[in-house]
Structure 1
Amino acid sequence: MRTERNLTRLDRVFARLDREPERPVLLDVPKMSRHRIALFAGTLAFYAAIVWAVLITSWLVRLDWQVMFFRPYQQWPEIHAFVDYYVVLGQRGPTAVMVAAWLGWRSWRQHTLRPLLALAVSLLLLNVTVGAAKLGMGRLGPHYATTIGSNEMWLGGDIFPSGHTANAVVTWGILAYLASTPRARRWLSALSAVVSLGVGLSTVYIGTHWLSDVLLGWAAGLLILLALPWFEPLIARSEAWILALRDRLRDRVPARAGRVAPVTRPVGAPVVLTPSATTGRGDDPVYEPASASRSRAAVAPVYLASAPLTAHAERTPVTPAGVRRPQHAERHPRGSAPTSTARHGAGG
């Protein structure tokens, strides 16, 4: 007879939320395959083509001006409030906090630091590459454009490529990169693509970026995700070093505590201090262990030593010191026979 109950979908969800007993033996770490290398090369060529098209003021720059004069925020003002909130999904601070919280839970569950280290490496690459491109090309945005039809390059701006778009591609795409199963990777890849596409178009709608800025931001973020397998050995070495450092610090804490307060007696045999009969300087009592006092009490002092008991009549009388009355000549100890002289003296 079968008595075990069938697991429901909610039970499976809670089982996945529990921490695994130990680190999984095999983690699905993406490798730099030929397919990924081909995608990286194609994305890099697309990146260079966008930059070249803007530099020579090609049809892409004319399209940028046409979209800017179209003013999407005036054409569809009813979605302006929603777009203002949606574009936050591309800001580095809020998105990094949300994704780091999720990946921190993943790290705790699987006993590994790889998710957090992968996020840190991707954000570092994003800041270096996108920041250098922004400052190097110095393009002005639509709100600060000076000459109609120009590419607005090297004028001190910092909007090319779009940082919001590149950040959305990296922070949401890292979830797909770290997915545990191929099915989850496909779904998360599609979700991150939709989110990053919406963030890029939101910046164009508001008027903070040119359309070419968004295209270059997509390419910049995708290049970082495609290049992450090259940094997996560095991530593995960093994780091993951090865990070894944690173990050394954990082993050092008990040793340091032992030097400060060394334990000389086994646990379970507490030392109880009792005041001794003697005192130290002044009137302060001297405390000693109870075991010492018990051992000293077990050995009786000399003046209390046990001796063979004698009868009361056999004890020799002792005259107390300091008694003024001399002992009577005719008195004799109790129980002793009188001498003959005393007997004759008594008769005469």
Structure 2
Amino acid sequence: MCTEPKLSRLDRVFARLDREPERPAHIDVPRMSRHRVVLFSATLAFYTAIVWAVVVSSWLVRLDWQVMFFRPYQQWPQIHAFLDYYVVLGQRGPTAVMVASWLGWRSWRQHTLRPLLTLGTALLLLNATVGAAKYGMGRLGPHYATVIGSNEMWRGGDIFPSGHTANAVVTWGILAYLASTPRARRWLSALSAVTSLGVGLTTVYLGTHWLSDVLLGWAAGLLILLALPWFEPLIALAEAGIFTLRDRWRSRRAVPVPAPAPVGTPTPVVSPRAAVAVDKEMQNREPVAAARAARSPAYLAPGPHTTRSERTPVTPAGSRRPPHSDRVSRGTASARPVAGG
């Protein structure tokens, strides 16, 4: 009979992760190197320059209007149907599901939660920074523009920077960030760059974003990828906390094991003859006790009763015992003289 407890799906997942408690040696966690700090500073300066150029209605705003009046979707209508599907690669929901599925498999194979936690951290930073910039500057898109030549800032819009472009940079760039070999990192970096570039230009083609929106979206997504090494200690701390909670939850569900008998407790020793005698005595007692329990109580008539030896059997012809004149029935005074003084 199998006495092992049935494991739930969550228990099986954690059991899989427990097979190798340490990370594999080939997984390299990126650090905030001097080269990365320089790239982050340059990207931040580019981000600030784009915002300033739009706020002061510089040549960049005039270029936005020229591209909008050019109407690329009317110039090349034959690729419109394809780009309607291609732009989905920048939508947050579908791309997050696809990338999370891949990184979930990576977490299963590498016995670590770091890929999923890194993706969650990047998406959280994306929503916080890009969302705050969108609603803070409130720029209207090309389809809702009111004054020709204006920057359309602080008018209740949510178009600046481009969320599709920033999401494409972060979601596909996280694959290159988590690559385990330099060669895979180079190929995935090129693939994510081409994908995010195509998504940004597709939004300009469809007329949903200004060109400056796309430029700022590229910069916003790249800033998040470059800043991720600063959050690696927090990711490691979150992973350790999750496993600690898992261990506490397992300890609460564990079935208590009965404590063994203390060593040195004296055990009574019974000889074989004594054990046989006790068994025979118990076997002899059981029929007697059963007979006593099965006997029904006797109900006797009131009055004096004679013993069986004093009763005379009666037949239709009369008593078969001869009368005894010297016998006295019980309950009467004896006629014999009492011997003794």
Contact 1:20 1:110 in 2 (8 A): no
Q: Deviations over 1:249-282 (max 9, x none)?
A: 1121124xx5xxx8799xxxxxxxxxxxxxxxxx
**Residue of structure 1 equivalent to 2:23:** 24
Query: What is the identity, as a one-letter code, of the residue corresponding to 2:80?
Result: H
Q: 1:56-115: per-residue Cα shift (whole Å, max 9, x none)?
A: 111110100000000000000000000000000000000000000100111111110000
Unaligned runs of 5+ in 1: 1-17, 266-294, 306-319, 330-348
Percentage identity across paired residues of the two chains: 75
AA of the residue aligned to 2:31: K
Instruction: Tell me which amino acid in the other structure corresponds to 1:300.
Output: Q
Kindly state the Cα deviation for residue 177 of structure 1 after the two structures are TM-superposed.
0.3
TM-score, length basis structure 2: 0.72
- 5 Å-filtered alignment, 1:272-283, equals none
Describe the shift of the 1:232–1:323 C-alpha distance in structure 2 as closer, same or farther (beyond 3 A). farther
Task: Report the equivalent of 2:123.
Answer: 123
Please, what TM-score do these two structures have when normalized by structure 1?
0.71
In structure 2, the CA distance between the partners of 1:302 and 1:222, relative to structure 1 (3 Å rule), is same
> 1:300 aligns to what SS in structure 2?
helix
Taking the aligned partners of 1:135 and 1:300, their CA distance within structure 2 comes to 94
Report if aligned partners of 1:86, 1:199 keep a CA contact under 8 Å in 2.
yes
Alpha-carbon distance in structure 1 between the residues aligned to 2:279 and 2:236: 65
Say which is worse superposed, 175-184 or 242-251, in terms of deviation. 242-251
SS at match of 1:125: helix
State the one-letter code of the partner of 1:299: M
Equivalent residues in 2 for 1:166-315 (5 A)?
166-255=166-255, 258=256, 299-302=282-285, 304=287
Structure 2 gaps, min length 5: 1-15, 261-277, 289-306, 314-319, 323-341
The alignment's C-alpha RMSD in Å is 2.8
Secondary structure of the 1:129 match is: helix
Q: Match of 2:23, as an amino acid?
A: P
Secondary structure at the counterpart of residue 155 of structure 2: coil
**1:56 pairs with 2:39:** no
Partner Cα distance (1:56, 1:298) in 2? 113
Moved over 6 A (4+): 262-265, 295-298, 326-329
Structure 1 letter corresponding to 2:93: G
Instruction: Tell me how far apart the structure 2 counterparts of residues 328 and 184 of structure 1 sit (CA, whole Å).
Output: 125
Aligned-partner SS, 1:119: helix
Q: Could you tell me which residue of structure 2 aligns to residue 292 of structure 1?
A: none
Per the alignment, do residues 303 and 169 of structure 1 end up closer, same or farther by CA in structure 2, a change over 3 Å counting?
closer
Q: Give the secondary-structure state (helix, strand or coil) at the position aligned to 1:299.
A: helix
Alignment of 1:52-201 (within 5 A): 52-201=52-201
In structure 2, the partner of 1:10 is: none
Quick one: structure 1 residues 25 and 109, their matched pair in 2 at CA, closer, same or farther if it must change by over 3 Å? closer
Contact 1:172 1:192 in 2 (8 A): yes
> Whole-Å Cα distance in 2 between the matches of residues 133 and 198 of structure 1?
23
Distance 1:303 1:161, change over 3 A: closer
CA shift for structure 1 position 24: 3.2
Contact 2:17/2:112 (CA < 8 Å) preserved in 1? no
Shift of 1:145: 0.4
Q: How many residue pairs align between the two structures?
A: 265
1:219 Cα shift?
0.1
Is the 1:201–1:214 contact (alpha carbons within 8 Å) kept by the matching residues of 2? Answer: yes
Code of the residue aligned with 1:132 in structure 2: it is A
